[in-house]
C-alpha cells in the first residue's frame, strides 16, 4: 500500500480543489453511504477537511501530521490533536492504527489513516446498520448473511468457525432456498450451513428464521410413520370432501 509520510508545509490545496472534492464526496455519499446512516461532515468543518485530504489520497496511508498540516493551511487556529479516527465511527471506510488492511497481511501503522473506498461504509458499520434494518436492506447474499450475523439461520453455526454439530468441519454458508417451489431470489433465501442445506435438500419450506413451516416434497411424508401417513390421508380426504361442489 502507498504511503504518504509526515510532511509539513507542502500540503495546501487551492480552495477550488477543496470545493471540487467536497462536491465529489457529497455525490458518492448520496449514492452509496447515506442509506446506511453514515454521517456527512458540514461544509468548512475540520472533519470535512480530513475527509477531503483522505479522499484525494484514497488508498494511501497518510500520516496524521500531514493531514493536520493541510487543515492548518486552511484553518490556522485548528488544534494540534486532531482525532481523524472519528471518521471511522461515523461510518466512513477509514482504517486507523492497528486495523487490518483488506487483502493484505499487514495492519495500519501507528499515526496513519487510510480511506479504502467511498463505495461502501466501513464493514463493521455496514453490518450493524444491516442488522438494525433487517432483511429488507440486504442487496446481495453477502449482505443477507450480515443480517444473520454470518450464522446459519437454522442451526446458528457461524461462518468460518467449527460447526456446532460436526466440530471437525468448518461452517460454510450456502444459499438456503426458503420455498423450493419458487425461484431463487434474495427474498426467498436464508443463509444455511452446508450441513443443514444438504440434509434438508428441497424437501421443506422455511420461514425467515430458518424454521420448517411446510413440506416441499412427498419424501418426508413417505418416510413418516404409518400412523402419521394415515392421519395425513384422512385429513386430506376430509379436505377434499369439504371442497367438493
Ligand atoms: Zn446449519
Gap from CA of 123 to ligand 1 centroid (Å): 24
Residue 52 C-alpha to ligand 1 middle, in angstroms? 45
Query: What is the H or E stretch that residue 174 is in?
Result: strand 173-177
219 C-alpha to center of ligand 1: Å? 21
Q: How many A from CA of 137 to the centre of ligand 1?
A: 23
What would the pLDDT profile of 12-46 be if each residue is shown by its tens digit?
899 999 999 999 999 999 999 998 889 999 999 99
At 136 the pLDDT is 83
How many residues does the structure list for the chain?
245
The DSSP-derived string for 156-184 is -PBTTSB-SS-TTSB--EEEEESSTTS--
Q: Calculate the CA 124 to chain-centre distance.
A: 7
The H or E element that residue 27 is part of is: helix 15-28
Give residue 150 CA to ligand 1 midpoint distance, Å. 11
pLDDT score recorded for residue 74: 92
Q: Ligand 1 centroid to 94 CA: how many Å?
A: 34
Whole-number pLDDT of residue 9: 62
**Cα–Cα distance list, 23 to 18, 29, 45, 57 (Å):** 9, 10, 14, 16
- Between the CA of 225 and the centroid of ligand 1 the distance, in Å, is 25
DSSP 193-204: EHHHHHHHTTSE
Of the candidates 15, 37, 16, 40, which has an alpha carbon nearest to the alpha carbon of residue 26? 40
**Sign of the Cα pseudo-torsion (60, 65, 71, 74, in order):** negative
What percent of the chain clears pLDDT 90, i.e. is strictly above it? Answer: 76
- Give pLDDT, residue 10: 63
Q: How confident is the model at residue 149 (pLDDT cuts 50, 70, 90)?
A: confident
Alpha carbon of 14 to ligand 1 centroid (Å): 56
How many angstroms does the Cα of residue 35 sit away from the middle of ligand 1? 31
Which residues are CB-neighbours of 86 under 8 A, at least 6 positions away? 47
Q: What is the 187 CA–ligand 1 centroid distance (Å)?
A: 19
User: 135-139, 169-173, 188-192, 200-204: lowest mean pLDDT where?
Assistant: 135-139
The grid coordinates of residue 68 equal 493536520
Rounded to the nearest angstrom, the distance between the alpha carbon of 192 and the centre of ligand 1 is 5
Lookup: cell for 81: 490533536
pLDDT score, position 111:
94
Question: pLDDT band for position 245 (50/70/90)?
Answer: confident
Q: What is the pLDDT of residue 134?
A: 85
C-beta separation of 61 from 106 below 8 A: no
- Report, as an integer, the average pLDDT of 200-223: 94
Q: Is residue 90 scored above 80 in pLDDT?
A: yes
pLDDT band at 101 (very low <50, low <70, confident <90, very high): very high
**Ligand 1 mean position to 136 CA, how many Å?**
22
Amino acid at each position: 500500500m502507498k504511503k504518504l509520510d509526515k510532511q509539513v508545509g507542502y500540503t495546501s490545496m487551492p480552495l477550488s480543489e477543496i470545493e471540487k472534492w467536497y462536491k465529489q464526496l457529497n455525490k458518492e455519499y448520496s449514492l452509496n453511504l447515506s442509506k446506511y446512516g453514515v454521517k456527512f461532515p458540514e461544509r468548512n468543518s475540520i472533519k470535512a477537511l480530513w475527509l477531503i485530504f483522505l479522499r484525494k489520497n484514497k488508498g494511501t496511508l497518510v500520516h496524521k501530521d500531514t493531514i493536520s498540516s493541510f487543515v492548518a493551511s486552511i484553518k490556522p487556529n485548528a488544534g494540534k490533536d486532531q482525532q481523524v479516527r472519528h471518521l471511522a465511527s461515523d461510518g466512513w471506510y477509514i482504517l486507523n492504527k492497528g486495523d487490518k488492511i483488506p487483502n493484505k497481511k499487514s495492519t495500519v501503522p501507528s499515526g496513519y489513516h487510510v480511506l479504502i473506498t467511498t463505495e461502501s461504509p466501513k464493514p463493521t458499520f455496514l453490518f450493524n446498520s444491516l442488522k438494525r434494518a433487517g432483511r429488507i436492506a440486504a442487496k446481495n447474499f453477502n449482505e443477507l448473511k450480515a443480517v444473520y450475523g454470518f450464522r446459519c439461520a437454522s442451526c446458528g453455526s457461524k461462518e468460518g468457525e467449527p460447526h456446532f454439530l460436526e466440530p471437525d468441519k468448518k461452517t460454510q454458508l450456502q444459499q438456503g432456498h426458503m420455498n423450493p417451489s419458487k425461484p431463487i431470489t434474495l427474498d426467498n433465501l436464508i443463509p444455511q450451513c452446508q450441513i443443514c442445506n444438504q440434509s434438508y435438500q428441497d424437501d421443506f419450506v422455511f420461514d425467515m428464521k430458518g424454521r420448517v413451516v411446510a413440506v416441499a416434497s412427498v419424501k418426508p411424508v413417505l418416510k413418516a410413520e404409518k400412523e402419521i401417513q394415515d392421519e395425513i390421508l384422512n385429513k386430506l380426504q376430509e379436505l377434499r370432501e369439504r371442497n367438493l361442489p
